[in-house]
Structure 1
Amino acid sequence: MAVQNLKATVNSSSLIHPDSIERDANLKTLISKKKLHLVLDLDNTILESAILETLTKYDQDYLKRPVAVKLMEDKKLYIWDYEAEGFKDVYVTKLRPYVKTFLKEASTLFDISIFTLGNETYTRKMLELLDPERLYINSQVITREKVLLTRSWRKGHHFLKSHERVVLVVDDAKDVWEANAKNLIDIAPYGFFKDESSNKKSWTQKLADESEKYGELARVLRELKKIHKEFYNLEEGEDYESRDVRDAIEEVKRKFSLQGTKDAMSQHAKETTNEIDECFKSMDLNCRRNKLNRIQTSHEVM
């Protein structure tokens, strides 16, 4: 009986789960580099892919136009052959504007992982397009195969090697991260090609694209930088290992929310006005302020 009790004690309290050991080691490594762990989704977050034959007739014709040829020359749009598990298809992939800069700048503050419900073959191809030398995506790559082992389509922190308190997630699909919603940074989905279920004009129909400087990835990067700065902004008596990125997210929201203090509102309004002014300049608009301090513009998109 004494032996059985001893075994029970050892099994319940003396053994440390291997994941805990790995996460503790990873935490120390991240903190020593003053980094956090950033997890990125692929589809409709940092790129869009589609099977060529499923595109609308308009979009298939668009791919033959000079504007699409230029995008391919600039390595922003790709047509490629997919072959795996006995299937062959031709795919089209459009990278979200600013993604290469986003990865480069984010990698200075974060270890970057990819977490996708795409399969390994597809994901490997996307990594070749996004970061062929793996200079920036330098941590985990989690694909459909690993998720399906849990018999679920849910993503979650339990797949990751970092503590939850240092993980930030950027994914256009919120519902798959239900258990880790507080780690999620909102981003609007990216769709370059026509969505048949929507009446909204696609970027291809507009003969345009999301802004590099003022698009979603640029906005999210600014937010990530603020959260990183807040996390590593120690108060007296604190240590980094006791900090939680979810608290940093809430603090950043508090500081820059329009529902915050008068000073915060003033600062937010000032930053927003400066961004609008810079945006107008970059678009070469003719702007003037009227007596009601409203901005009037004249701009024609060809």
Structure 2
Amino acid sequence: MQNLSLAKNEMDRLRDENSKRLLRDRKLSLVLDLDHTLLNSAGFSRITGEEEYLNCERDVLPEYLKSSLFRVHGSKRLVKLRPYVNTFLKEASKLYEMHIYTMGGFSYALEMAKLLDPKNIYFNSRIVSRDDSTRRYEKSLDVVLGKENAIVILDDKESVWCKEHKENLIKIERYHFFAHSCKRFGVDHKSHSQLKSDENESEGALATSLKILQQIHTLFFDMVCI
């Protein structure tokens, strides 16, 4: 019990120090989900006949896929980055210290982080997977070094978050690029891949979410300065 108490005290100290640093830098913490929030993925074996064109060489892919579709051999899946994600990460990083939090395994989280942040600018070591979570089958802010009132969550699933942290959540519209994703969630229309289309960058969910995050940041620091 003494060791647990010491570990908690150390976490509290680190959380307090990090929170003070972020406030000095006029930043909040942003916890980002991966799947259906920043990207969509499907195992190689899940690709349908209608989606076979996705297996073409990169130079013959439709233009909008050339820089956003990846074959990840480690986890044997195709990964499609969500439209606007690069701009979203760049602009959000000016106001927030960003974390990845996924219910996937740690190796998967690292693979996805490398696609989203190949130069390691945005996330550094702030990557949390189900292997790091303090609660089974649930996400919690216990593993984030920040004060809860200064943390914002962006996730497509409210149900995965423990009830005391749901107030921190901005729920984003789920991104279904692959047919398997639509099938898994019972969506009764064709996926973007089947329609050979994609979300509108400037009017899509990430662009809308960025505006909300910017507003939250402004309101928070307006309150701090009162």
Q: TM-score range by the shorter chain?
A: 0.7 to 0.9
Query: Of the candidates 92, 108, 122, which is equivalent to residue 94 of structure 2?
Result: 108
Match of 2:47 in 1: 55
Of 93, 105, 110, the residue aligned with 1:124 is 110
Q: Is the 2:19–2:145 Cα contact (8 Å) retained in structure 1?
A: no
Structure 2 CA distance for aligned equivalents of residues 174 and 191 of structure 1 = 17
Q: How far apart are the structure 2 equivalents of 1:164 and 1:106?
A: 18
The range that moved more, 109-118 or 203-212, is 203-212
Unaligned 5+ segments in structure 2 are 1-6
**Structure 2 letter corresponding to 1:68:** L
| Counterpart AA for 2:174 | P
1:95-123 CA distance string (max 9 Å, x none): 00000110000000000000011112211
The alpha-carbon deviation at position 26 of structure 1 amounts to: 1.0
Question: Aligned residue for 1:245?
Answer: none
What SS does structure 2 have at the residue aligned with 1:78?
strand
Give the aligned length.
217
- Where does 1:1-302 land on structure 2 (aligned, <5 Å)? 17-64=9-56, 68=61, 70-73=63-66, 75-82=67-74, 90-138=76-124, 140-147=126-133, 150=134, 152-179=136-163, 180-194=165-179, 195-196=182-183, 197-234=186-223, 238=226
Shift of 1:58: 1.2
Whole-Å separation in 1 of the counterparts to 2:141 and 2:101:
11
| CA RMSD of superposed structures (Å) | 2.5
Relative distance call for 1:40 and 1:67 in structure 2 (3 A) is farther
1:153 CA drift (Å):
1.0
Is there any run of 5+ residues in structure 1 with no aligned partner, and where? 1-14, 83-88, 239-302
Classify 1:135/1:95 alpha carbon distance in 2 versus 1 (closer, same or farther; 3 Å): same
Deviations 1:16-58 (A, max 9, x none): 8222111111111011000000000000100011101112221
Supply the AA of the counterpart residue of 2:63: K
TM-score normalised by structure 1 residue count: 0.66
Query: Percentage identity across aligned positions?
Result: 36
TM-aligned CA deviation for residue 159 of structure 1: 1.3
TM-score, structure 2 length as denominator? 0.87
